[in-house]
A and B are shown apart, each in its own frame.
Chain A
Amino acid sequence: DAKTTQPPSMDCAEGRAANLPCNHSTISGNEYVYWYRQIHSQGPQYIIHGLKNNETNEMASLIITEDRKSSTLILPHATLRDTAVYYCIVRVATQGGSEKLVFGKGTKLTVNP
């Protein structure tokens, strides 16, 4: 099973870019990298996903290394409201084609004023 490794916590100054790393060294060629975040006790929120190319949307950018063994989520101008736990997930395909979406423990990002 492909799994991810993330630092347990990070700090970032308000207004600066937050760069959250994720290692997924056993990722398979057809597996996507997904990022979610969870603010306080709310349900997790989808941020972005990608396969090989870098991706950008209104929330963040996703940089995937050429060998696809790691990725970085970038919040370009972090605000206090971005304080959350960020989860990096790789699709885990099971036999028969059904999918177990497995979450790890994530990175607790604290944005400081």
Chain B
Amino acid sequence: NAGVTQTPKFQVLKTGQSMTLQCAQDMNHEYMSWYRQDPGMGLRLIHYSVGAGITDQGEVPNGYNVSRSTTEDFPLRLLSAAPSQTSVYFCASSYLADSPLHFGNGTRLTVT
């Protein structure tokens, strides 16, 4: 059972570079979301989606874009990376928005 798969596990970017963090789930979950985690800050919601073609902003959406063209995939795009985006990023999914979340193992991103 793959569950929620995030790639890459680690990434180093230079300021201004762009990249996409991948998230895929094989559980046919409708709800998917992205969180970032910084030391002492807990988890903060970036963007979420309640189904294919539908996305919405979370608490800290600035600097990030998302799209949801399929049920399985929910990529997170950084258009112009900044050092403030250095963080650990977690993708999560659930059958419905009010069902327990399943998390991936995270992507550790460093922006220099």
**Could you tell me which A residues sit within 8 Å of B by CB distance?**
32, 34, 36, 41-46, 49, 87, 91, 94, 98-106
Contacts and interface: CB of A to CB of B under 8 A. Distances in A.
Q: What 7 pairs across the A-B complex have the smallest Cβ distances?
A: A43-B103, A99-B97, A103-B43, A46-B100, A105-B42, A98-B50, A44-B103
Interface string B6-48: 0000000000000000000000000101010000111111001
Q: How large is the interface on B (under 10, 10 to 19, 20 to 34, 35 or more residues)?
A: 20 to 34
Given A43-B90, A44-B43, A103-B43, A98 B100 contact: no
A32 B96 CA distance: 14
Contacts of B33: 101
Of A46, A49, A87, most B-chain CB atoms within 10 Å? A46
Contacts of B54: 98
Contacts of A87: 42-43
A103 B41 CA distance: 10
B55 to A, nearest CB: 10
Interface of B: 4, 31, 33, 35, 40-45, 48, 50, 54, 56, 58-59, 88, 90, 92, 97-98, 100-106, 108
B9 to A, nearest CB: 11
Contacts of A32: 98
Contacts of B4: 43
Contact of B101 (A36, A104, A105): A36
Nearest to B105: A43
Contacts of A98: 48, 50, 54, 56, 97
A24 to B, nearest CB: 15
Given A41-B88, A43-B103, A44-B103, A99 B50 contact: yes
16 contacts: A32-B98, A42-B106, A43-B90, A43-B92, A43-B103, A43-B105, A46-B100, A87-B43, A98-B54, A99-B97, A100-B45, A100-B58, A102-B45, A103-B45, A105-B40, A105-B42
